[in-house]
Amino acid sequence: MISLVIPVYNEGAHIEASILKVQAILLENKVNYQFVLVDDGSRDETWQVLQKVAQNLPNIKALKLSRNFGKEAALCAGLEAADGEACIVMDADLQHPPALIPEMIRLWREEGYDVVEGVKSDRGHEGNVYKLGAHLFYSTFNRLSGFDLRRASDFKLMDRKVVDAWSRLPEKDTFFRGMSAWVGFKRYRMAFAVEPRAAGNSKWSPLKLGKLFISAITAFSSLPLQIITFLGGVFFVGSLLLSAQTLYMKFFGIAYSGFTTVILLQLIIGSALMLSLGIIGTYLARIYDEVKNRPRYLISAEVSSTRSDDVV
């Protein structure tokens, strides 16, 4: 059986149609399936629709998180609730083409791949600012962590053992794409073209993306902390040179007003110090969040289909 894990946030208008579309493809290919739908604290009618879907269709498990915990936490909830021998993670907006699911399953079942990851062959209809942001993010992430996530997406099939390995990672603040690359296993990269959104708008605000950026970088690299040491070294060398020059001029009685130097030094060192404190603070905050050991998400309601139909 395959579990389809789908995080859903304010997608009430089209979620039912999306599920039916995916279901039709699964039935056509005679796959035993289970939908794990996670309502990430939607404020529209999503939960009502999911309840109705669970009543009318077989093999549905729907969870409602107690508030909007974010896609990452919703994915965790879904993967932890999934029972399948493999899980397919996909978006609710059909941007991850369901027509590729049979091929993913074939690669897993027949060719023995543990992870089949969807790789974006183009970034769809995204704006230039978004593309530039994504490029900046992935090149920084790659340089700092050593994992190349360029073109990576959350559209993935994972074998049961990969899901289990993944759920053993204890961190509370998760970055699914990075973590699923970290666990390794036999992987296949499958190119797909990003479809236009089924309806509605992207649920990611620039602020949410910024948070994801910082949490991803700090989760996979401590290099920013070492940059501070490096910066300190550079300033130390500079300070030796400047001290020598200052003392020389003092002893030879040619010291003159170095007002500009003083102001520049103040500004440069001041901002370097504050930036450094900020970087340390970011890591500290991360440690603080992990130490609090709060659950990644809370489930406020759960419904399941009464019927479970096996295709084969």
* Residues making contact with Mg ion (CB under 5 A): 91, 93, 95
- Partner from Mg ion, ligand UDP, none binding residue 46, C-beta < 5-8 Å depending on class: none
Q: Is the distance from CB of 166 to CB of 79 less than 8 angstroms? A: yes
| Least Cβ distance, residue 267 to ligand UDP (angstroms) | 39
Of the pair 166, 197, the CB lying nearest ligand UDP is at: 197
Structure letter (DSSP) for residue 67? S
Cβ atoms of 100 and 41 within 8 Å: the answer is no
114 binds, among ligand UDP, Mg ion, none (CB under 5 to 8 A by kind): none
User: Could you write out the DSSP letters of every residue in 209-232?
Assistant: HHHHHHHHHHHH--HHHHHHHHHH
Contact predicate 199/93, CB 8 Å: yes
CB of 268 to ligand UDP, least distance (A): 38
CB 41 within 8 A of CB 69: yes
Shortest CB 9 distance to Mg ion, Å? 10
Question: Whole-number minimum distance, CB 305 to ligand UDP, in Å?
Answer: 20
First to last CA, the chain: 10
Is-contact 83 34, C-beta < 8 A? yes
Binding site for ligand UDP (CB under 6 A): 7-9, 11, 40, 68, 70-71, 74, 91-93, 95, 202-204
* Residue 33 or 113 having the CB closest to ligand UDP: 33
- Nearer to ligand UDP among residue 2 and residue 15 (C-beta): 15
CB 54 within 8 A of CB 62: yes
Contacted by 305, from ligand UDP, Mg ion, none: CB < 5 to 8 Å by type:
none
CB of 172 to ligand UDP, least distance (A): 16
